Structure formats: structure tokens, C-alpha cells
Amino acid sequence: MSIQKFGQYLLEIESPKIGDVLTLDGIDGFDDQTLWNFKRGNKIQFLINPNSSKDLLTHEFLITEVLKDTNSNDWANVRVKKVTTIGEIFNNKPLTGEDDFQALIKWVEKIWDKSWEMKQKIKNYMYRPPHNHFLTFNELHQVVDKTRIEFGRKNRGLSKIYAQEMNNKSIRVLSVTDNCPESSFVYDIDNVEHYKSAIIKMKKRNQWDDENKFWENIISS
């Protein structure tokens, strides 16, 4: 199993149980329009209302199944298939040795490429840069040295990164950012030097200043 994607839902869901039918809110729970175009049978998995004062890994995590196509609705009827914690999701992800952070780099690269394309077409195009889901090089070394494993960031609301060594080699990273489905991740760094090289390679793309600053911040922070 490679990189895992999930969302964070900003409303409370009291005592969820397997089999419960819920109506997910696409305005106050998830972000506007992010529940559009889900199909019946699709999975929506998410962290429930993260609280910055609580241990991140103890938060409840739901895996749900969409009961009806959402089309352009800002809500989704779902059935709860599993109730767990984000800590269990984090710890139970199999180690693959695949450096699956590479999939996350490709995902972020597509966002930057699309933003650049739109800016060429529309002079005053207002874009939203991607969240930084990556450990900075400084954070990476703190994890390796076991001096710190959780990092809070101010980035359009709650943004946290938790990381730890899993087998004295692989570093597992949990990045919690937007209240959108599939906008937070659990991924592995199996080779620190491969990770650093991949980030530096992205910095050398020289696509445009804003993207350069994004990658430079990871390298130099």
C-alpha cells in the first residue's frame, strides 16, 4: 500500500458507529464545492474535527461510503464503514520501501503546473498555492535525531505534521492540512538522501518565483 489520502472534517460527529448514515456538510465541515461529483460507492475517509490541544494521533477517523451521487451538491449522504483513530491508520500502513513521498511530489507538481498554466492565460489570475506537506530538511534531521516528532504550522487554519522512524530506517509522515477530502496524507521516506535529492530537483525546475520559494522553504527552513 502506498501513500494514503484523507480529509479533515471540521464539525463534530457524536459517537459515530459502523452502519450509521450521516449527511456530510460541504460548507462548514468540508470546504465549499469539495463534495461535488462523488459517485455512489466512492469512499470518503476523514479525521473528525481536529483539536490542536489534543494528541493528534488520538483523533477519531471515519471511513465512509457514498450512498448517492453528489453531483453539484454541497453535502453527501454516507454510511459509516469503519470507526478508528488516525493513530491506527498511521501505524498500520504497511512499510513498502517504495519512497512513496514521490507520489506526493507529483501531486504538488501538478498543482503548480496548473496554476502556472492559468496565470499565462489570465493576467490577474488569483491562485491558491499548495500546502506544504513535506518535512523541511531541518525537521527531517530533528526526526532522525529523535529530538522532535510533531511540528505545528500556521497555514490557512490547522496544519500539522507528525513524523517518526518506523524501523530505524523509514520515516513515516502524517500531514494534516485542508478541510477537503483527500488533501491530507500519510507517506513514507525510506531513503533520506533520495528525499532531499528529489526536493532539490524540484527547486531546480525554475518554473516561476512562487514555486521556487515553496521548494526553497523546505530546503532552507
Residues 7, 181: Cα–Cα separation, whole Å = 4
| pLDDT given at position 158 | 57
Q: Which domains does the chain have, with CATH numbers?
A: 4-92 (2.40.240.20), 101-220 (no CATH)
pLDDT digits (tens, 9 = 90+) for 77-102: 999 999 999 999 999 998 888 889 99
CA 8, 11, 15, 16 torsion-angle sign: negative
156, pLDDT greater than 60: no
Looking up cell 525546475 gives 205
The whole-model pTM stands at 0.90
How far the first Cα of the chain sits from its last, in Å, is 30
pLDDT digits (tens, 9 = 90+) for 157-175: 557 889 999 887 899 999 9
pLDDT digits (tens, 9 = 90+) for 7-29: 999 999 989 999 999 999 999 99
- What 138-144 contacts at long range (C-beta under 8 Å, 24+ apart), as own/partner pairs, is 138/221, 139/163, 139/221, 140/171, 140/189, 140/192, 140/195, 140/196, 143/171, 144/171, 144/192
